[in-house]
Amino acid sequence: MRLGFRHLAATTMGMTFSLILLGVYTGAIGAGLSCAARWPLCNGAVFGLFPADWPSFVEWFHRFVAMITGFMIIGTTYAAWKRQPRTDIRWASTVALVVLPVQVLLGANTIWFYGPVAQVLHHTAALTIFAAMTATTAWAFQSATTATEAATDADTDAGADASADGSSGPVRL
């Protein structure tokens, strides 16, 4: 089975949603505070592969999942512009891509200035990306469904035309 664009979009949307949930947990336990207002560093390391405590691990894991999700958003947008004829799919994925660097800076802002405003802005950008990826995915599946229905209708019409002239049309079970 060949996985196509709609599966990439759905996986990216799922990763984005999972990242939002992880971000809520990260903020709830104050994991960003474990980095002592140093971003991109945390506990003096660029890559905290062996963090000192649970909050540091959660913060680094959130960053790691965010990096993977970011690359998936880039890939989804590239694939949309390369392979999708529908402009709504292209532009929805582009919205997610454009908001992505803003989201990264807002994430850094939650480390530097931990507070309600920083958290709200960070989550607003996350939900904007999620909404854009949801639209991308929904429209990609809609396109696939529409294409399948069009092919089925074409087969049915061909069968009806063949039957009209006295020949036997395609057999449907």
Tens digits of residue pLDDT in 130-162: 999 999 999 999 876 665 555 555 555 555 555
Does residue 60 lie in a domain region? yes
Does residue 168 lie in a domain region? no
Does residue 171 lie in a domain region? no
- Of 44-58, 81-95, 150-164, the poorest mean pLDDT is in 150-164
Does residue 164 lie in a domain region? no
State the pLDDT at residue 38.
66
Does residue 167 lie in a domain region? no
Does residue 11 lie in a domain region? yes
State the pLDDT at residue 165.
53
State the pLDDT at residue 146.
65
The domain tally of the chain equals 1
Rounded to whole angstroms, the Cα distance separating 142 from 68 reads 26
- From the CB of residue 37, how many other CB atoms can be counted at a distance below 10 Å? 11
Rounded to whole angstroms, the Cα distance separating 22 from 110 reads 15
Average pLDDT, the chain: 82
Does residue 170 lie in a domain region? no
pLDDT surpasses 50 at 77: yes
Rounded to whole angstroms, the Cα distance separating 166 from 154 reads 19
- Of 45-54, 67-76, 135-144, the poorest mean pLDDT is in 45-54
More confidently predicted of 67 and 110: 67
Residue 75: domain span: 5-157
State the pLDDT at residue 102.
96
Does residue 107 lie in a domain region? yes
pLDDT surpasses 90 at 126: yes
- Of 47-51, 91-95, 100-104, 154-158, the poorest mean pLDDT is in 154-158
pLDDT surpasses 50 at 74: yes
Q: Whose CA is closest to 74, among 104, 102, 98?
A: 98
pLDDT confidence bin for 1, thresholds 50/70/90 = very low
